[in-house]
Amino acid sequence: MTAQPTGTSLWIRQFHPAPDAATRLVCLPHAGGSASYFFPVSKALSPKVDVLAIQYPGRQDRRNEKCIDSIRDLADALVPELLPWTDKPLALFGHSMGATLGFEVALRLEQKGVVPAALFASGRRAPSAHRDETVHQRDDEGLIAEVKSLSGTDSQLLGDDEILRMVLPAIRSDYKAAETYAYVPGPRLAAPIQAHVGTSDPKATVDEVRAWSEHTSGEFALHTYPGGHFYLNSQASQVIASISETLSPPPA
């Protein structure tokens, strides 16, 4: 399910506008993902939190646009789209590749004087916890096998040739962006970081995720769950509850 772009931005989707919410949450998809992945999150958090789901170029209604295969280029393109939404406290939630993108977006926002209310990093090792990965260089069959092993895309959809032609370029581009990202040491974020991970995630160990603590001068919290890279699919209610408690704490 997709929504019409908000205003003139092709990047932002508001599935459940919440104009009276005190805070906004920007949701950044995983590699090959789209804004619609966060429809349930938007529904669950509205109207307490105004959720903005991000649609990257090269998929769904943006499939005719060129994909962006660099985390930093994605961040450079996205930040100007988000600045008009910073009239309220703005938090960032990113899963997998989206967490790394969230970090780079947060850095750019802070350079402009906007400190995010929080960075929620899900299913992704810290920027400084580097791995040498080359999945994006595999042939189509190898790339499909990787995605299936992580359960990130429905296997039946991957078996449809037409769907494959549409989604493989975006998946490959996103994998390239995530795998070629290299952290450049610099100032820590002022924003607090809350990290979430499945304890059997092959793409991020608990220790690699705990290293997010090195990237903030604010508070840090680590939450672990049973499950693999897409633990979020089965543990969504717990993650959403943690986000809600952080952004909309109950009155004292």
Catalytic residue ranges: 96, 229
DSSP 143-159: HHHHHHHHT-S-HHHHT
90-95 sheet: strands from edge to edge? 12-13, 49-54, 23-28, 90-95, 119-122, 193-198, 220-225
Taking the alpha carbons at both ends of the chain, their separation in whole angstroms is 38
Q: What is the Cα–Cα distance from 245 to 150, expressed in whole angstroms?
A: 29
Q: What is the Cα–Cα distance from 238 to 99, expressed in whole angstroms?
A: 18
Tell me how many degrees the CA angle 24-203-198 measures, rounded to the nearest 5.
60
Q: What is the Cα–Cα distance from 126 to 144, expressed in whole angstroms?
A: 25
For residues 204 and 224, is the Cβ–Cβ distance under 8 A?
no
Element containing residue 73 per DSSP (H, E): helix 71-82
Q: What is the Cα–Cα distance from 202 to 180, expressed in whole angstroms?
A: 18
Q: What is the Cα–Cα distance from 153 to 169, expressed in whole angstroms?
A: 14
Per the structure block, which two tokens stand in for 26? 């920007």
Instruction: Name the DSSP class of 66.
Output: P
